[in-house]
Structure 1
Amino acid sequence: MNACATPPSVWDLTSLYPGPEAPALTADLALAAAKALTFRNDYRGRIAGPGPAAGLLAAGLQSYEALQRLGLKPYLYAQLLFAADGESDVHKALLARVREAWSDLSEEILFFELEILRIDPDDFAVLLADPLLLPYGHYLRRLTAHAPYTLSEEVEQALQRKDLSGREAFVQLYEELEASLRYDFHFPGESAPREGTGEELLALLYHGDGTVRERAFAVFLRRHGDNALVLGSCFNNILLDHGKEVELRRYPDLMTPTHLESETEPEMVEHMMAVTEANYGLAREFFALKKRLLGLERMKNTDLYAPLGGSGRSFSYPEAKELVLAAFGEFSPVLAEEGAAFFEDGRIDAFPRPGKSGGAFCMGMLPGLAPRILLNHTGNLRDVSTLAHELGHGVHFALSRGQNLFHYQAPLPFAETASVFGEMLLTRHLLARESDPQFRIELLCAKLEDIIATTFRQNVLTRFEIAAHRLRGESLLSADDYGRLWWEENGRLFGDEVEMIEPYRWGWSYISHFIHARFYCYSYVFGELLVLALYQKYLEEGEAFVPRYLELLSRGGSAPPAELLAPLGIDLADPGFWQKGYDFVRGLLEELRVLVEGRES
């Protein structure tokens, strides 16, 4: 496809199944259920015995992987359909159906990992050294980290059944509510009010008129406030569920499951967050600079992403595609080729519409199933950056496709590595080709806004989430309780530089990460600071850095983070590592300050 050609704007899912009622999908669900029974009969009671054979365990792992791939394909397909149109009754019914089928399958095969955890430690060490098990080595080692917190098969099965009508039911309720919300609003340039989507309103945070920005965000937030009963119930029950599971499994801390999954040390994460908070002043310096640029006497949080005026540029979807692929290509043809395949194969759903999920994501799918990207492109500079971000995720998944299912996904802290690196490549590509000082100011502002959103704001979100979980363990929380915690944590970042509008007390209610993945937000801080270090390495080493970076992406989650980073000279244990990222931010801030002062002189 020519870089300037108009790319498809709706993804094509027919390579997965012809449609939601396809016989092939029903057949896959039935086959997965049958194979789960066969797998249970073949392996239950044979893995944890004395001196288990490496060949038996290797065969079991291969069958276990194949079975999960078979069961996950319909589930992922249903999630994509629902994300594209969450109002469709057909899509809702299919998602509920495949969730229940996956829960049943998971219950049947649950014994397998539990038996692995009961293998004698001495026998386990021998098994790990066997060549037959080397492809699964890291997965097996990670699995054993969960051993102290794993319960009997009967209890684990009961927990899975409970989740289907408990936590997962509240997750689905939250998703369906968010997809159904509509907002009556008089959009700028239109003759009369109309019903709009949340994404359309959030896009107006980039509008040039401060009144429009504040009114749009207030309408969006108050609509969530109108649904306080449902949103509060979703949060209360999901947080309570997590707290009870932590107690049941006797985890030492609410964040322990996340640390185990992400292979991060609690002390390291706390140090990273403390360093981030010590650098909140950088964000406030930027807010003060932007207030000058906007000519405001006081700055509200609805002004954070206000356009500066002067260039007045917007970007069509084909233009965004061309810019991102060019930026990727300057770094590596491999990055550009893998990125271009998303457009050529129709694997991106680009524009907002009623019923479609808000925000943006890249679904990695499975090795052998090409990843998909959802966007809500409205034409501003941030949307171009979002495309670079999600396409970075997509390239990461594409390069790690040679890994098995258990090593395909990068560990949580690495989940944002390629995405944020893609944003940095785009920014530097745009700066290198741009001579207009005003647009250079806009680019630097956009980059600093992204970094602030990905480090400082995500730190705020993590602190809020920790506080909310701890308080929920003590008593039921009201919407006002959540709002108070949200206000306090955001206030620590904004200080006296930014005034929050009153409806922002509802800002916690639309952050879906709180619903879908406990304490996920600190991975953005980790990923952003890691990328700043990696990008600095690239500037220092040039072309020699590229193959080592691509190798890092291709390894997926096949080794611990420290081992994956060692070839690139990154030491996460270095006490000054996190501060180096913020020193880089200070450099960008000074670059912006020079341009601003030059414009004012």
Structure 2
Amino acid sequence: MTTDLNSLLWDTSPLYASATCEDIDRDLSRGAAEAQAFRERYAGKVATLDAAEVADAVRRYEDLGELLAKPQLYAHLLFAADSEADDHKRLSQRTAEFGNLMSRELLFFDLEIMEIADDRFAGLLSDELLAPYRHYLESVRRFRPYTLKEREEQLLKMKSLTGTDAFSRLFDELSASLRYRMELEGEERDFTGEELLGLLHHPEAGVRERAFATFLNRHEENGIVFSSVFNNVALDHSQELELRGYRHPMEPTNLGNDIPEEVVNRLMDVSEANYGLARDYFRLKARLLGLPKLKNTDVYAPVGDNDRTYSFDEARELVLEAYGRFHPRFGEMAAAFFDERRIDVLPRPGKSGGAFCMGMTPHLSPYLLLNYTGNLRDVATLAHELGHGLHFELARKQTMLNYHAPLPLAETASVFGEMLLTRFLLQRESDPAMKISLLCAKIEDIIATTFRQNVLTRFEERMHRERQEGLLTSSRLCDLWWEENGRLYGDAVDMIPPYRWGWSYISHFIHARFYCYSYTFAELLVLSLYRNYLEQGERFIPTYLSILESGGSLSPADTVRPAGIDLADPHFWQKGYDFLAELIEELKGLLEQRQH
């Protein structure tokens, strides 16, 4: 079966007809009018409302949130697919300014919830009318000690348009605009960044290193811009910490994630204590590749003769079957993304790098962006992003305020989906060499999703702490990056010199401060959930469904408690790394079988 090229582009017409259609103007005008009416109805009165009135106000607030979100989400999709189109640029900026204005208009609501007297608030929480919104209300109140007066909050939001938001936009546009020229197979040609990163899976070591060096050297050429963006984002965060009275750079993220600081610290400390597992694997892989020592461009190299590529049709069938074998409902929901053209597949100039799943609202279907180049890692990325999509689909039973899972759980379904794909591929494969290749890919993925994300978090933490003391030169940013990666690689992997600029293309540092530890959190959590699945079989599925369906209606701890998981257990995180150790031992067993 040959894929129609149009089917590889997502269809956003169910949202709006185009970036210039009148329906967008209508929704923006209606949203502004309803936001003003909401403010007139409730401003200055929230603290006096009874439970029924608060419940009604929250429902109105949710409906308004959905209305305001739609044009902004649509603009984000268009800009991500093509940031060079003028209509997309204009709409993206217009909706960003609109969203900023609306958030200032509606700030009062959360602020007045914070101002409700403690005894009165406790009474509201105990009322069954507000049961669906208890977690939301408690989440708002957690920020009470760090929140400023309404006018000050409005000014901070207003200035963000020309501050961090502007620098984020600059980062996105610059990253998407970069072009790369490199020789491959005797021909010099242009590449996108995603195509070069895809060559890290190429069978030839020279190609891998040349591709990554070309990519990173281009970033160094734009180092003045990238270091300025990082410095200003970090400076803005530092100033906000001081204004609000936070103690350390990660505290706002931890509060928002509803994860105690000690749990995050334990997660990171346990990860670092297990860096030796990664180094053991890297030494093993060097032997598999016939190398005395790996370079960091060899970490994702195919093992043996496995340089196979997969058409997108093949990837789709593999991933759909893996999900369908787990549960038919999962297969059906995943298939809808293809059938309804909610996936943008191929890399191209102007398109955002990486991959994401855009969860919209409970009444709008999610979309996936990929940069598919055909290697096994890209097949796993499809499974990963579809996992996000299934999570968003299942959470649509929630209302707007409870729709999005807290960040530590946001990667749960995506990582679980990758595990399903890996086990499916291992079970259907009879070739021992291919089994070794698949197991290597899974181990590398776990290392990337735990240890590497821990490295990223430590770099980010050091960047923010040092920026509080003064300007970080690009050379110092490179030093921090080099040092933290060196702690992971040790003497098992040599880093190529251009990798000093590896920090400069990581968008999470710009768009979602300290998001990266959520990957580590989710990976280790999923290893525990997957072990439960292997032990319980179909009995596990209802528990897993309930976790995904809960969206953001519960804290992370309460969400996973029905699965028998205690996030406060000091040994919990180590169990995930014990599972990784078992996979490495399984790999060694396969290698011994092949030698005999």
**Structure 2 length-normalised TM:** 0.98
Q: Does 1:380 align with 2:375?
A: yes
Match of 1:9? Answer: 8
Q: Separation in 2 of the partners of 1:309 and 1:96?
A: 48
Per the alignment, do residues 428 and 4 of structure 1 end up closer, same or farther by CA in structure 2, a change over 3 Å counting?
farther
Q: Does 1:444 align with 2:443?
A: no
In the alignment, residue 74 of structure 1 is paired with which amino acid? P
Deviations 1:79-112 (A, max 9, x none): 1001101111211111000000111111111111
Deviations 1:494-513 (A, max 9, x none): 01110000000000000000
Deviations 1:374-407 (A, max 9, x none): 0111111101100000000000000000111111
Q: Does 1:419 align with 2:414?
A: yes
Q: Does 1:179 align with 2:169?
A: no
Match of 2:35? Answer: 36
Counterpart contact for 1:7–1:344, Cα < 8 Å: no
Offset of residue 597 of structure 1: 2.7
Match of 1:215? Answer: 210
Per the alignment, do residues 5 and 531 of structure 1 end up closer, same or farther by CA in structure 2, a change over 3 Å counting?
farther
Q: Separation in 2 of the partners of 1:40 and 1:564?
A: 33
Offset of residue 298 of structure 1: 2.3
Q: How does 1:489-508 map to 2 (within 5 A)?
A: 489-508=484-503
Match of 1:572? Answer: 567
Match of 2:141? Answer: 144
Which blocks of at least 5 consecutive residues in structure 1 are unaligned?
none
Q: How does 1:104-503 map to 2 (within 5 A)?
A: 104-188=101-185, 192-503=187-498
In the alignment, residue 16 of structure 1 is paired with which amino acid? L
Match of 1:547 among 527, 542, 550: 542
Offset of residue 313 of structure 1: 2.0
Q: Separation in 2 of the partners of 1:362 and 1:160?
A: 26
Offset of residue 445 of structure 1: 0.4
Offset of residue 276 of structure 1: 0.7
Q: Does 1:24 align with 2:23?
A: yes
In the alignment, residue 77 of structure 1 is paired with which amino acid? Y
Match of 1:60? Answer: 57
In the alignment, residue 154 of structure 2 is paired with which amino acid? Q
Q: Does 1:103 align with 2:100?
A: yes
Counterpart contact for 1:7–1:318, Cα < 8 Å: no
SS of 1:531's equivalent in the other structure is helix
User: How many percent identity over aligned positions?
Assistant: 58
Q: Separation in 1 of the partners of 2:390 and 2:131?
A: 26
Offset of residue 187 of structure 1: 2.8
Match of 1:80? Answer: 77
Per the alignment, do residues 355 and 6 of structure 1 end up closer, same or farther by CA in structure 2, a change over 3 Å counting?
closer
SS of 1:401's equivalent in the other structure is helix
What number of residue pairs does the alignment pair up? 596
SS of 1:302's equivalent in the other structure is coil
Q: Separation in 2 of the partners of 1:289 and 1:378?
A: 27
In the alignment, residue 135 of structure 1 is paired with which amino acid? P
Offset of residue 130 of structure 1: 2.1
Deviations 1:331-377 (A, max 9, x none): 11111111111111100001111111111000101111000000111
- Which deviates more from structure 2 when the two are superposed, residues 332-341 or residues 442-451? 332-341
Offset of residue 310 of structure 1: 2.2
- Which deviates more from structure 2 when the two are superposed, residues 250-259 or residues 56-65? 56-65
Counterpart contact for 1:6–1:318, Cα < 8 Å: no
Q: Separation in 1 of the partners of 2:16 and 2:5?
A: 25
Offset of residue 3 of structure 1: 13
Which blocks of at least 5 consecutive residues in structure 2 are unaligned?
none
Match of 1:581 among 571, 576, 580: 576
SS of 1:184's equivalent in the other structure is strand
Q: Separation in 1 of the partners of 2:549 and 2:273?
A: 35
Offset of residue 565 of structure 1: 1.2
In the alignment, residue 171 of structure 2 is paired with which amino acid? Y
Q: Separation in 2 of the partners of 1:381 and 1:7?
A: 23
Counterpart contact for 2:458–2:484, Cα < 8 Å: yes
Q: Separation in 1 of the partners of 2:22 and 2:29?
A: 11
SS of 2:184's equivalent in the other structure is coil
Offset of residue 7 of structure 1: 9.0
Deviations 1:11-48 (A, max 9, x none): 00000000000100011111111111111111111112
In the alignment, residue 552 of structure 1 is paired with which amino acid? I
Q: Separation in 2 of the partners of 1:310 and 1:286?
A: 19
In the alignment, residue 251 of structure 2 is paired with which amino acid? T
Offset of residue 230 of structure 1: 0.8
Counterpart contact for 2:202–2:307, Cα < 8 Å: no
In the alignment, residue 211 of structure 1 is paired with which amino acid? G
Q: Separation in 2 of the partners of 1:197 and 1:464?
A: 26
Q: Separation in 1 of the partners of 2:432 and 2:65?
A: 53
SS of 1:303's equivalent in the other structure is coil
Q: Separation in 1 of the partners of 2:187 and 2:6?
A: 32
In the alignment, residue 520 of structure 1 is paired with which amino acid? Y
Per the alignment, do residues 334 and 4 of structure 1 end up closer, same or farther by CA in structure 2, a change over 3 Å counting?
farther
Q: Separation in 2 of the partners of 1:509 and 1:53?
A: 51
In the alignment, residue 537 of structure 1 is paired with which amino acid? N
Once superposed, which parts of structure 1, at least 4 consecutive aligned residues long, lie more than 4 Å away? Answer: 2-7
Offset of residue 309 of structure 1: 3.0
Counterpart contact for 1:208–1:306, Cα < 8 Å: yes
In the alignment, residue 330 of structure 1 is paired with which amino acid? R
Q: Separation in 1 of the partners of 2:550 and 2:52?
A: 25
Deviations 1:203-261 (A, max 9, x none): 11111111111111001001000101111110000011011101100012211110111
SS of 1:557's equivalent in the other structure is coil
Q: Separation in 1 of the partners of 2:122 and 2:336?
A: 42
Q: Separation in 1 of the partners of 2:151 and 2:305?
A: 65
Deviations 1:152-199 (A, max 9, x none): 0010001111111111010001011001000111233xx532221001
Counterpart contact for 1:533–1:581, Cα < 8 Å: yes
Counterpart contact for 1:5–1:318, Cα < 8 Å: no
Counterpart contact for 1:329–1:335, Cα < 8 Å: yes
Counterpart contact for 1:74–1:98, Cα < 8 Å: yes
SS of 2:294's equivalent in the other structure is coil
In the alignment, residue 587 of structure 2 is paired with which amino acid? L
